Amino acid sequence: MIVKGEYMNRNLRWRVLLTLVVMIVALSLVLPSVPGIKNTMLGKILPDTTINLGLDLKGGIHLTLGVDVDKAIENNMSNMGQDIKSTSREDDLAVLNPSLLPGPRLEIMLVSSAKQERFEKLLSKQFPNVKVDAKEPQAEDRVKYVLSMTPDYKKYLAKLTLDQAVKTIRNRIDQFGVAEPDIRRQEDNRIQVQLPGLTDPERAIAVIGKTAHLEFKIVDDTVDPAAIKQGLVGPGRELTAMIQRGANGSSSETPIVLMKEAVMTGEYITDARAAIEQNNNQFSVSMTFNPRGAKIFERVTGENIKKRLAIVLDGKCYSAPVIQDKIAGGKAQITGRFTQEEARDLAIVLRAGALPAPVNILEQRTIGPTLGQESIDAGMMATGIAAIAIILFMAVYYSTAGIFADVVLLLNIVLTMAGLAAFGATLTLPGIAGIILTIAMAVDANVLIYERIREELRKGVKPLEAVDKGYSKATLTILDSNTTNVIVAIILYQFGTGPIRGFAVTLVLGILMSMFTAIFVSRIMFDLYMSNRKADAPVSI
Amino acid sequence: MSISFIKHETNIDFIGLRKLAFMLSAAMILIGAVSLVMKGGPRYGIDFAGGVILQTKFSGPTDIDKVKKVLEGANLPGLVVQQMGKEKDNEFLVRTSTTDDSSASIHVTVAKALDEGFGNDKYEFKRTEMVGPKVGEDLRGKAMEAMYFAILIIAIYISGRFEHRWMAAGLMAAGLFAGITTLQYFHAPQVWLVFAALLITLGLCWFLRLNYALGAIVALIHDVLITVGLFSIMNKEFDLTIIAALLTLIGFSLNDTIIVYDRIREIRGLKTGETLPVIINKSVNQTLSRTILTSGLAFLAVFSLFVFGGAVIHDFALAMLIGIVVGTYSSIYVAAPIIISLTPPDVEVPAAPAVSGKGKLKAKTA
């Protein structure tokens, strides 16, 4: 008997020690998140973990972007058509009218049917990513080819497009200056962007969602305005909208005829800055090209003196100044009566590069900082009141045993918060709801045990034995019932978006911690309480 | 000094009340179903239907009718304006439906109308949310999928854990998987898939005699249907947080059910020779004080969230409150009694004659 008692005490000592260690670790994880502690002496020795707050609590913008991968593949196919044409020419083969078919497929015409074999050889050698879907002899000794991309190449292109889009968006956001942005790829060609602290979704979308495909095109001023009205602009020309801004910020669009083929694109830009215009309060964007771009720009401007050069961004012409002279030095300017903010944002997207495909905004959620703070306050209030109500109830209903349950309940809350900090999980408003639910579930474990002990006591079992039986019998039940809650929480995590995930995380953490606190820690308290009494002294439960 | 609500072991004849309970449940489900049919399905929030919401706070006293009038001029599709919180908060929820990809610009249109009607320094958007129709559709599908997986995994878990029939549980999973894959092959719509999944699960549980799982699942479906029905009657919107609440209440209701099942398993293990109805009644009675306590405390906690948690989480808390009440009821009156209705008498080892007065039971033991 004495031996057993000593064994139990030693066992108890270890269990107390373990609990203390867990508590110290938990507190050191949680305390850095408590406002005001970070800057004290204590804050300096504590680890650098803080609980991340979700966008719904700290305010910010959540965007889901859909990348139009099909468009990128189409563009690539159409470029490939031009490539095939020029490569064939170098090889002394004449290929006409590459044109895009839905699919996307490419239709091209080979002049002279005798050269079929040579052309096909060239295709397989230089363009291994296309395959011939059909060929058909045509009049005038021509052969019509229908080409398509290999599925592997399409997949590769899709991946490349998405990679590049993520990279470009990240680049733009970095330059925009957002603290801790979160950019991640999702299934179905989607990108999720989280921008904590930002509150103007329009501006964020303008910076992130702009394709920023910059082209320089020569203006054709010879087309008759009447013909423009009818849309008759002639071969190799295109009708584009020219944006004209009034001094007061109003804008209108007028048609302008441009040569279809761009003389240069934005890919040579190395730098872009917002600059204030000299004689008014408006801003423009000045660009610097790399040496190759500078050379092209010099040649293009030299060849087109006295003509107008249109600066086309995402299909809209912003300005079309007359080329006075050959421009060397690799600098150009976009003027368009921009505001300072617009010019700054445009400079960012030009610097960061164009998106490989257009993106659509599929989902946008913006939480203002006031609402976030209100949610935090309301959540804290609700948690506090729920906790106090339950703590009071337990203490009254189970007296001493109830106070044990209350102590482990508080420990459970600290441990759950510590878990959030340790795993770098995010606390959201539904997450706070999860903590409140966990409070109820954590006491449930104690309720199960205590009711069992009471049941045993009613049967006339001696107190010490009743406590023992209560714990051992209820433990399995607690495990069983909690398992289903964990299963549900994991499913929630799998399907949920940000805030819901926060809920699932706190729920799982809370349940796991409650197994430790309610079964293990509360037992220690009971053992300590029982160790100094006679076996048949009544228990306060 | 401590208190207890239930001083001695109670002996309420829950099983005897089960017919009444079944009728009550059926009536509740029916009322909800009628409301759902009359309103043309659940009222989806923007998470599922797509659309735009703008939580707008005005700096001074503002009349909801004026807000409506100002916005009606802007020609917004499916415009709804609701007061949020208390009247003195001057806060309104502006909601519009979506027209494909133009949703991003609705925000600007609303801002412009409010600028003209009130002046641009008189209000702020505390929250703007835009969900495109495609994302809404995806989220709806995902929510359905989550419900279905929750029910499937729970069925497997309960069958394995309480009847030691992991094989049968595995068989059920395989059967379900086969059925759903076949339907997917024919491109059946998501809603049908979930219904089919439920029917297959119930059918397989029935066929494989997984009675505990069947009882638990019927109880869960019962809880979800009643909550959804009540939400429809109260004209509340369904969004992601409500789905989260539904899943959580599934977990919670199941928690109660398992406590009862656990006790049934324990008493059956004692081999007292009692009949199943007696065992079940005993189990429910013995766990009653715990059930009431836990549900009461959970209700208390969620009620605090409902009252103090703010407008954003209000409906979530409401769904949970309903769920806790319905879930507790179903654990006592639905999940356990169903086992009796399903179990053929020869499964038990009955030494004493049946007390529930079921003719079939008596005939077998005689």
pLDDT at B358 over 60: no
Q: Mark yes or no for CB contact A386/B127 under 8 Å.
A: no
Q: How buried is residue A415: exposed, middle or buried, by Cβ count under 10 Å (0-12/13-18/19+)?
A: buried
C-alpha distance from A541 to closest chain B C-alpha (Å): 6
pLDDT band at A334 (very low <50, low <70, confident <90, very high): confident
Q: Do residues B267 and B208 both lie within one domain?
A: yes
In a domain, B3, yes or no: no
Q: Do residues B237 and B357 both lie within one domain?
A: yes
The reported pLDDT for the residue numbered B321 is 95
The reported pLDDT for the residue numbered A61 is 93
- Helix axis angle, B133-163 relative to B166-185, nearest 10°? 160
> Which residues of chain A make contact with B161, given a CB cutoff of 8 A?
480, 483
pLDDT digits (tens, 9 = 90+) for B148-170: 788 778 878 888 877 777 788 88
The reported pLDDT for the residue numbered A248 is 65
The mean predicted confidence, pLDDT, of chain A is 86
In a domain, B12, yes or no: no
> Which residues of chain A make contact with B151, given a CB cutoff of 8 A?
none
The share of chain B scoring above pLDDT 70, in percent, equals 89
The reported pLDDT for the residue numbered B32 is 92
Q: Mark yes or no for CB contact B248/A437 under 8 Å.
A: yes
Q: Do residues B77 and B157 both lie within one domain?
A: no
Q: Do residues B25 and B105 both lie within one domain?
A: no
Closest residue in A to B145 (Cα–Cα): A495
Question: Can you list the domains of chain A with their CATH numbers?
Answer: 2-58+368-531 (1.20.1640.10), 70-154 (3.30.980), 210-366 (3.30.1360.200)
Q: Do residues B148 and B111 both lie within one domain?
A: no
The share of chain A scoring above pLDDT 90, in percent, equals 22
- Quick one: three-class SS letters along B241-263? HHHHHHHHHHHHHHHHHHHHHHH
The reported pLDDT for the residue numbered B197 is 79
The reported pLDDT for the residue numbered A1 is 40
pLDDT band at A91 (very low <50, low <70, confident <90, very high): confident
pLDDT at B99 over 90: no
Q: Do residues B148 and B110 both lie within one domain?
A: no
Interface probe, candidates B10, B54, B240, B304, chain A, greatest A C-beta count within 10 A: B304
For the entire predicted model, the pTM comes to: 0.81
Q: Which of A397, A440, A485 sits opposite B301 (nearest CB)?
A: A440
pLDDT at B357 over 50: no
Number of domains in chain B: 2
Q: Mark yes or no for CB contact B128/A396 under 8 Å.
A: no
Taking alpha carbons only, the member of A30, A56, A51, A199 closest to residue A500 is: A56
A214: helix, coil or strand?
A: strand
pLDDT band at A406 (very low <50, low <70, confident <90, very high): very high
Taking alpha carbons only, the member of A164, A166, A168 closest to residue A353 is: A168
Q: Mark yes or no for CB contact B262/A371 under 8 Å.
A: no
- Single residue among B77, B110, B131 that ends a domain in this structure: B131
Q: Mark yes or no for CB contact A488/B308 under 8 Å.
A: no
- Single residue among B77, B98, B131 that ends a domain in this structure: B131
| CATH number of the domain residue B246 falls in | 1.20.1640.10
The reported pLDDT for the residue numbered B364 is 38
Q: Which of A363, A366, A381 sits opposite B135 (nearest CB)?
A: A363
| CATH number of the domain residue B80 falls in | 3.30.70.3400
Q: Which of B124, B134, B248 sits opposite A368 (nearest CB)?
A: B124
In a domain, B5, yes or no: no
| Residue B144: its H or E element | helix B133-163
Ranking A17-26, A216-225, A296-305, A306-315 by mean pLDDT, the lowest is A216-225
Cis peptide before A463 (omega within 30 of 0): no
Closest residue in A to B5 (Cα–Cα): A397
- Quick one: three-class SS letters along A338-373? ECHHHHHHHHHHHHHCCCCCCEEEEEEEEECHHHHH
Give the C-alpha separation, A379 to B304, whole Å: 10
Q: Where are the alpha helices (DSSP H) in A423-462?
A: 429-458
Ranking A149-153, A366-370, A535-539, B61-65 by mean pLDDT, the lowest is A535-539
More confident residue, B203 or A37: B203
Interface probe, candidates A381, A455, A480, chain B, greatest B C-beta count within 10 A: A480
Residues ≥6 apart with Cβ < 8 Å to A36 = none
pLDDT at B188 over 80: no
Q: Which of A202, A378, A401 sits opposite B308 (nearest CB)?
A: A378
> Which residues of chain B make contact with A66, given a CB cutoff of 8 A?
134
In a domain, B87, yes or no: yes
| ipTM of this predicted structure | 0.83
Q: Where are the beta strands (DSSP E) in A279-358?
A: 283-289, 309-313, 316-319, 331-338
Q: Do residues B342 and B234 both lie within one domain?
A: yes
In a domain, B9, yes or no: no
pLDDT band at A403 (very low <50, low <70, confident <90, very high): very high
pLDDT digits (tens, 9 = 90+) for B106-156: 778 888 888 888 887 888 888 988 888 888 888 888 888 888 788 778 878
The CA distances from residue A109 to A86, A92, A146, A480, in Å, are 13, 15, 9, 72
Give the residue-averaged pLDDT of B49-65.
88
Q: Mark yes or no for CB contact B129/A397 under 8 Å.
A: no
Q: Mark yes or no for CB contact A382/B309 under 8 Å.
A: yes
Q: Do residues B38 and B59 both lie within one domain?
A: no
pLDDT band at B312 (very low <50, low <70, confident <90, very high): confident
pLDDT digits (tens, 9 = 90+) for B264-281: 888 888 888 888 888 888
C-alpha distance from B305 to closest chain A C-alpha (Å): 5
In a domain, B10, yes or no: no
Give the C-alpha separation, B112 to B128, whole Å: 15
Q: Do residues B326 and B214 both lie within one domain?
A: yes
The identity of residue B263, as a single letter, is R
In a domain, B324, yes or no: yes
In a domain, B155, yes or no: yes
Q: Do residues B74 and B198 both lie within one domain?
A: no
Q: Which of B127, B258, B266 sits opposite A371 (nearest CB)?
A: B127
Q: Where are the beta strands (DSSP E) in B43-122?
A: 51-58, 80-84, 91-96
pLDDT band at B305 (very low <50, low <70, confident <90, very high): very high
The reported pLDDT for the residue numbered B322 is 95
The reported pLDDT for the residue numbered B100 is 56
Q: Do residues B29 and B157 both lie within one domain?
A: yes
**Angle at B253 (CA atoms; ends B247, B259), nearest 5 degrees:** 135
> Which residues of chain B make contact with A460, given a CB cutoff of 8 A?
none
C-alpha distance from A436 to closest chain B C-alpha (Å): 6
The mean predicted confidence, pLDDT, of chain B is 82
The reported pLDDT for the residue numbered B304 is 95
The share of chain A scoring above pLDDT 70, in percent, equals 96
Q: Do residues B124 and B162 both lie within one domain?
A: no
Domain around B114: 51-131
Residues ≥6 apart with Cβ < 8 Å to A472 = none
Q: Mark yes or no for CB contact A433/B128 under 8 Å.
A: no
Please answer whether residues A452 and B336 qualify as being in contact, where contact means their C-beta atoms are separated by less than 8 angstroms: no
pLDDT band at A338 (very low <50, low <70, confident <90, very high): confident
- Single residue among B85, B113, B131 that ends a domain in this structure: B131
Give the residue-averaged pLDDT of A300-307.
90
> Which residues of chain A make contact with B57, given a CB cutoff of 8 A?
370
pLDDT band at A316 (very low <50, low <70, confident <90, very high): confident
Give the residue-averaged pLDDT of A231-252.
77
